[in-house]
C-alpha cells in the first residue's frame, strides 16, 4: 500500500483523472489546481558549474525554475553539493538513474530484477532508496529513462526492464522513501509505434500499480538529424499519442520530461512561434491534465539546426521568456523584455477606395504597429503584379467588386481575406457566400492551431453585434473556428491544399470580420487578427 503522505499529495490528481474519464476536464491546470510546473535541464556552458547553469537559465527566463532535471549513472555519488543546493534553494528534481556504470559498463536489467538480499546489486538498490529517502524533499525518480532506445540494447529487453523497474520501486517502498514519486519516461516516438515495433511504449510499461506518473521526451527535430524527421512538428502533434496512452492507463501524473525544437534557417521566428504554441497548448481542456514541462537545453552551439537551447535566436529567447512569465506556469506575470525587431513584413491591402478608407484606416494603423509596411490598392485596379515582393495580400470586406479577387486568385503569396462574396473567386468556397448577421462571437474548435492565437471555446470578437462571414469549405481546408450552428468561419488552405477547382498556390485564410466591427473589436478580436496577419506574412508555417 502506498504511503498516506503520497496519497494526500496525489488525491487531487486522482479526482481530475476521474473527471477526465467522464469527459470533463477543467481548463485551469488540471493536475492539482496549481500552476503547471515549468522546469529545465540546464546544460553547462563555458566552464560553468551545474549551479551556475541553473542560475544563468533562470536569469534568461526572469524567474525561478519549478523543477530541475538531472541524470545519473548507477555508481555515481549522490547527493553532491549541487543536489544539496537544489534542495536548500527550493528546486525539486526529476532525477534519472541509468543502469550503467560511470565507466560505461552495463548493469543488466535482468541482474537487477534477480538481485537477492546480501548481493552487491541488491545493496546498490537499497543504497539508492535510502539516499533518496534521507534527502528528505519531494523528488521524481526515474529508473532508466528511454529504455527502448538502441543505446540500451545491451541492458536487456522489455520484460527485463519491467522486472527491474518493479524491483527498484519495491525496494524504495520497502525502505520508506515516501518522498519519491516514480515517473516512467519514454521517448515521444515510443507512443507512435505499431505493435510490430519493439519500441512500442505499451511493451515497456511497468503497470498502473508501479508508476506514479508517465512522461515523454518530446522533440521537433525538423532537419536536425537525417533519418529522424524532416517535417516541422508542433508539440501538440508530438505528445498527443502520450496523452492518449495516459487516458487509457490513468496514472496519476503526465509530464513532458524533456522538450526542444530545432530552428528553421528559412524562418528565423519559427522556433519562437513553436514556443508560443506550446505555451497556449497546455491551457486547452485536453492538455490541461499535464502536470509539468521541462526544457532540455543541451545541444550543439556550432550547428544551429540542432541547438535545443532556448536562446538559439533572439526571437526564441524572447518567446521562451514570455512562456515562463505566464502565471499559468507559475510566472510572475510581469512584462517580458521587448522582443527583437520583427522580420521585415510588407502587405498589400486591397480596399474599395484608398481616398476614403473608413475603418480600413484602423487596420492599416494596426498592421503598421505589427511592423508591416502597407501598400494600399484600389479594388478596381488591383492586379497580380501589385503583389510582387509582398509578404501577404489582404482583401478587405470594403471592396465593392470581387473581380479583384479573381485577378489575385493565382498569386503565389499568402492571402488573408474577409470578404465572403469573394471566397468563390479565390476557389475557397464553391459559390459566393454571405454573412451570419447579428453575431458577436465565434467558437474556436482547434485551440492549438496558430490562428487560434491561444484562445479556446467561445470568443467574443466585437462589443457590438455584427455580420460575420462563413463558407462551405473543400476537403483541403482546416477550420479553426465556427459561427452560428457550426458554420466554417475562420479557416485556412495551406499551400498545395485541395480547393474548389484547383490547389492553393499559397496559403489562403478566411477571417470573420466586417467593416462595421473593426472599431468595436475586443482584445481577443484584435489578437486573432494580429495572429492571422503575421502568420500569413510568415508563410503559414504550421497547420
Q: Tell me, what CATH number does 488's domain have? A: 3.40.50.880
Domain-embedded: residue 76: yes
pLDDT at 292: 96
Q: Quick one: cell of 189? A: 516516438
Q: Which of 329, 353, 382 is the last residue of a domain?
A: 329
Q: Quick one: cell of 455? A: 484562445
| pLDDT at 59 > cutoff 80 | yes
Domain-embedded: residue 339: no
Q: Are residues 168 and 310 in the same domain?
A: yes
**Of the candidates 402, 406, 488, the residue with the CA atom closest to the CA atom of residue 444:** 488
Q: Are residues 212 and 143 in the same domain?
A: yes
pLDDT at 251: 62
Q: Are residues 313 and 389 in the same domain?
A: no
Q: Are residues 373 and 471 in the same domain?
A: yes
pLDDT at 228: 66
Name every residue whose Cβ is closer than 8 Å to that of residue 24 and which is 6 or more positions away in sequence: none
**Of the candidates 309, 366, 313, the residue with the CA atom closest to the CA atom of residue 340:** 313
Domain-embedded: residue 222: yes
382 neighbors 398 (Cβ within 8 angstroms): no
Q: Are residues 171 and 24 in the same domain?
A: yes
pLDDT at 20: 36
Domain-embedded: residue 338: no
Q: Which of 329, 359, 382 is the last residue of a domain?
A: 329
Can you tell me the distance from the alpha carbon of 219 to that of 294, in angstroms, rounded to the nearest whole number?
Answer: 12
Domain-embedded: residue 335: no
Confidence (pTM): 0.59
Q: Are residues 322 and 353 in the same domain?
A: no
528 neighbors 519 (Cβ within 8 angstroms): no
Q: Are residues 268 and 353 in the same domain?
A: no
Q: Quick one: cell of 406? A: 479573381
Q: Which domain holds residue 492?
A: 345-537
| pLDDT at 255 > cutoff 90 | yes
Q: Are residues 294 and 378 in the same domain?
A: no
Domain-embedded: residue 425: yes
Domain-embedded: residue 336: no
Tell me the average pLDDT of the chain. 88
Q: Quick one: cell of 169? A: 520501486
pLDDT at 8: 33
Domain count, the chain: 2
Max mean pLDDT range (337-351, 455-469, 470-484): 470-484
Q: Which of 329, 356, 379 is the last residue of a domain?
A: 329
Percent of the chain that is helix, strand, coil (3-state, to 5): 35, 20, 45
Q: Are residues 174 and 284 in the same domain?
A: yes
CATH number for the domain spanning 30: value is 3.20.20.80
Q: Are residues 303 and 396 in the same domain?
A: no
Domain-embedded: residue 397: yes
| pLDDT at 310 > cutoff 80 | yes
| pLDDT at 22 > cutoff 70 | no
CB atoms within 10 A of CB 368: 12
Amino acid at each position: 500500500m502506498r504511503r498516506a503522505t503520497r496519497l494526500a499529495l496525489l488525491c487531487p490528481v486522482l479526482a481530475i483523472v476521474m473527471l477526465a474519464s467522464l469527459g470533463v476536464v477543467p481548463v485551469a491546470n488540471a493536475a492539482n489546481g496549481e500552476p503547471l510546473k515549468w522546469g529545465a535541464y540546464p546544460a553547462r556552458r563555458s566552464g560553468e558549474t551545474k549551479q551556475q547553469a541553473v542560475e544563468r537559465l533562470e536569469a534568461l527566463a526572469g524567474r525561478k525554475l519549478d523543477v530541475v532535471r538531472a541524470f545519473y549513472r548507477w555508481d555515481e555519488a549522490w547527493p553532491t553539493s549541487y543536489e544539496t543546493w537544489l534542495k536548500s534553494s527550493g528546486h525539486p528534481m526529476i532525477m534519472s538513474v541509468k543502469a550503467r556504470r560511470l565507466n560505461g559498463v552495463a548493469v543488466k536489467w535482468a541482474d537487477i530484477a534477480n538481485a537477492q538480499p546480501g548481493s552487491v546489486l541488491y545493496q546498490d538498490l537499497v543504497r539508492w532508496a535510502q539516499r533518496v529517502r534521507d534527502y528528505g524533499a519531494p523528488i521524481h525518480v526515474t529508473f532508466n529513462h528511454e529504455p527502448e532506445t538502441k543505446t540500451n540494447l545491451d541492458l536487456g529487453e522489455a520484460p527485463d526492464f519491467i522486472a527491474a523497474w518493479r524491483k527498484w520501486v519495491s525496494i524504495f517502498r520497502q525502505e520508506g522513501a515516501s518522498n519519491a514519486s516514480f515517473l516512467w519516461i519514454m521517448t515521444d516516438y515510443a507512443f507512435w509505434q505499431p505493435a510490430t515495433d519493439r519500441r512500442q511504449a505499451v511493451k515497456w510499461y511497468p503497470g498502473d500499480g508501479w508508476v506514479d506518473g508517465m512522461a515523454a521526451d518530446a522533440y521537433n527535430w525538423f532537419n536536425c538529424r537525417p533519418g529522424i524527421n524532416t517535417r516541422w512538428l508542433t508539440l501538440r502533434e508530438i505528445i498527443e499519442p502520450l496523452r492518449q496512452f495516459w487516458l487509457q492507463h490513468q496514472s496519476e501524473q503526465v509530464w513532458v520530461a524533456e522538450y526542444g525544437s530545432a530552428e528553421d534557417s528559412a524562418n528565423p521566428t519559427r522556433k519562437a512561434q513553436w514556443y508560443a504554441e506550446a505555451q497556449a497548448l497546455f491551457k486547452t481542456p485536453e492538455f490541461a491534465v499535464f502536470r509539468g514541462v521541462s526544457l532540455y537545453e543541451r545541444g550543439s552551439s556550432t550547428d544551429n539546426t540542432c541547438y535545443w537551447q532556448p536562446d538559439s535566436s533572439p526571437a526564441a529567447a524572447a518567446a521562451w521568456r514570455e512562456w515562463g512569465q505566464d502565471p499559468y506556469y507559475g510566472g510572475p506575470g510581469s512584462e517580458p523584455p521587448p522582443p527583437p525587431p520583427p522580420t521585415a513584413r510588407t502587405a498589400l491591402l486591397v480596399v474599395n477606395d484608398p481616398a476614403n478608407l473608413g475603418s480600413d484606416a484602423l487596420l492599416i494603423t494596426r498592421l503598421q504597429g505589427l511592423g508591416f509596411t502597407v501598400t494600399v490598392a484600389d479594388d478596381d485596379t488591383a492586379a497580380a503584379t501589385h503583389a510582387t515582393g509582398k509578404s501577404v495580400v489582404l482583401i478587405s470586406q470594403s471592396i465593392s467588386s470581387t473581380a479583384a479577387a479573381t485577378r489575385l486568385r493565382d498569386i503565389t503569396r499568402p492571402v488573408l481575406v474577409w470578404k465572403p462574396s469573394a471566397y468563390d473567386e479565390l476557389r475557397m468556397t464553391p459559390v459566393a457566400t454571405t454573412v451570419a448577421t447579428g453575431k458577436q462571437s465565434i467558437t474556436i474548435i482547434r485551440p492549438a492551431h496558430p490562428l487560434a492565437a491561444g484562445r479556446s471555446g467561445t470568443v467574443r470578437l466585437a462589443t457590438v453585434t455584427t455580420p460575420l462571414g462563413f463558407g462551405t469549405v473543400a476537403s483541403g481546408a482546416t477550420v479553426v473556428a465556427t459561427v452560428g450552428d457550426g458554420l466554417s468561419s475562420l479557416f485556412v488552405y495551406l499551400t498545395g491544399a485541395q480547393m474548389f477547382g484547383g490547389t492553393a498556390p499559397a496559403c489562403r485564410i478566411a477571417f470573420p470580420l466586417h467593416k462595421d466591427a473593426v472599431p468595436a473589436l475586443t482584445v481577443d478580436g484584435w489578437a486573432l487578427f494580429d495572429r492571422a496577419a503575421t502568420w500569413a506574412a510568415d508563410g503559414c508555417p504550421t497547420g
